[in-house]
Each structure stands twice: as structure tokens, then as C-alpha cells.
Structure 1
Amino acid sequence: MSHMQKLKTRVVKKNLNPEWNDDLTLSISDPHAPIHLHVYDKDTFSMDDKMGDAEFFIGPFIEAVKMRLSGLPNNTIVTKVLPSRQNCLAEESHIMLKDGKVVQNMVLRLRNVESGEVELQLHWIDIPGSRHL
């Protein structure tokens, strides 16, 4: 059983359209396991209200990182991931090269809530001495 990592963003107060702009770093042991995202409304007097959740898969992103494509022109799209019933994508997601690094932008539609979307961007960080994929 792999250890589950939990990361938390800071709280954005009194904002119906919050921007976190937080950097969270996850170490990846299983590229096939989904990453779960939960959004909460921080409540002063009671438990935090759940505002929806989503999950995303990093498999296609990891495959693009493994290709070692640093020589391509900036903003080259390596892969497109289409929205489907199997994922929470609200629109087509692009895995691209930016300044020699692979990044993936995604807009996730939150589940278990009337409406809501979260935008995020994946970056790969090589940590010296770590086990490479």
C-alpha cells in the first residue's frame, strides 16, 4: 500500500472566483494512479463545506517528459488530451514545451457540485539523486 500524500493550498478569503497561484510539489511513485483534487469552502463556525472534487491522470504528461524533447521550438504541442467520461477535463488539455520544459495546462470540471472549474498547470521537477522514471 503506497503512502498517500496530501497537499493543501492556502485559503483565499471572501472570493467567489479564487486564484491560488500556489505551487504544490508531489513526488510520483505510480504514474498510473489518479491525483484527487478537493475544493472546500472554509467555514468559520462549522466543518469546511465540500465544494466539489475532481481527479486527473498524469500518465500522458509523464510519457511526454520521458521523450526528452527539449530541442523543439517553444510552445510546441506534444500531446492533446481530450475530455471524456473517464476524466474530469472541461476542455482539451495541451501538453507542450515551454522554455525547454514539458508543461500541461488543464481545466477540470468539479464533480458533486452544481458548477465549478479549476485550472492547473503541471511541471516536471527533476530532483537530484531521486529514482528516475
Structure 2
Amino acid sequence: MDKLFGLVRIHVKRGINLAVRDCNTSDPYVVVRMGKQKLKTRVVHKNINPEWNEDLTLSIADTSLPVQIFVYDKDVFSLDDKMGDADFDIRPFIEAVKMRLDELPSGTIITKVKSGRDNCLSEESCVVWENGKVVQKMILRLRNVERGEVELQLQWIDIPGSRGL
């Protein structure tokens, strides 16, 4: 933990038009991975448009690692079904945090990350100064599945005594 820069709170907001894995519906949950860290949301039963509204917190030690998102369908009597995956680069968000923009008006866009073939963003994502915090909202298009998106929001958390950025 001597390399710790700080923490990122990932607000897993919702799934949009997720794949059906049980008869007419699914029981989805999200797994967030970065390096050896693995965090999980609760299962939302019988819903292909689930609202998780859950906060997961990753410690950031290596900004070159991607943040990986996996969506699964919870099954009782067999292995959970895969419902797609996505990843995103945390570096644009970290670069905005490094700027230390304490005097900006709330709602100021710091940087924009365009969607493209090299990322899973379904639309442009903006890193914004919001109420004294650096925040990034994004909608990720799931890969390796017929359909589905996951909406997230990132927020930086400084830790006293960490190396900081």
C-alpha cells in the first residue's frame, strides 16, 4: 500500500437493455476488477434494466491498469452466465484530478473522452468539476454479448497520508 495514490468511488448506477439469460429476464450483478482488486454489486432479480445505485471503492496504485467491468446473471443451480464485459482507461480521469482545480465553478468540463473503436464508451464522457469534486459519468457498451450497457460515475477520494497525485 506504499504506492497508493488515492481512491476512486465507482457509482454503479444501472444496466440498460441487458441480455436475457433466464427465460424472459435475467438476475444481473456487476463485478469491477482492477489488478488484484475485485468488487461486486448486489444481484437485482428478474430485471434487464436493473438499478443498482451502489458505490464500490477501488484503491489506485497503478494508473496504467484498465478498470474492467463484468456483468453476470446469477444462477442457483449452475455457474453464473456471462452477460458481457467492458473496460475503461482511468488515466484521463486521473489527469484531471492531478490538475488541482479548486476554484472552478461547479459544472465546469475539465476534459472530454470521445467514444471510439479503442474504448467501450457508448457516447462521449466528460470529466467535470462538480461541487468541489472531480466526477466522470460514463455509459459503457458491453462486449462479447448481443446487447447491453452499464452506466457508471467515478469520483476521486483523497486519502490523508497517501502519496497523492
| TM-score for both structures, normalised by structure 1 | 0.95
Structure-2 separation of matches of 1:62 and 1:70: 15
Mapped to 1, the partners of 2:84 and 2:62 lie a distance apart of 25
- Calculate the aligned-residue CA RMSD, in Å: 1.2
Report 1:1-133 matches (<5 A). 4-133=36-165
Amino acid paired to 1:43? D
Distance 1:131 1:4 in 2: 20
Higher relative contact order, chain-length normalized (CA < 8 Å, sep 6+): 2
* Distance 1:77-1:3 versus aligned 2 partners, 3 A rule: closer
CA distance in 1, matches of 2:47, 2:115: 28
Secondary structure at the aligned position of 1:37 is classed as strand
Gaps of 5+ in 2: 1-33
Label 1:113 to 1:3 Cα distance change in 2 as closer, same or farther (>3 A): closer
Letter of the 2:159 partner, please give it.
I
CA displacement 1:72-131 (0-9 Å, x = unmatched): 111101101001111100000010011011000000000000110000000000111122
**Contact 2:35–2:65 (8 Å) recurs in 1:** no
Determine if contact 2:137/2:153 at 8 Å carries over to the other structure.
Answer: yes
Deviation at 1:3, TM superposition (A): 5.6
Runs of 4+ residues over 3 Å off in structure 1? none
- What runs of 5+ residues in structure 1 fail to find an aligned partner? none
SS across alignment from 1:6: strand
Distance 1:40 1:77 in 2: 33
Q: Tell me how far apart the structure 1 counterparts of residues 134 and 62 of structure 2 sit (CA, whole Å).
A: 19
Corresponding pairs, count? 132
3-state SS of paired residue (2:47): coil
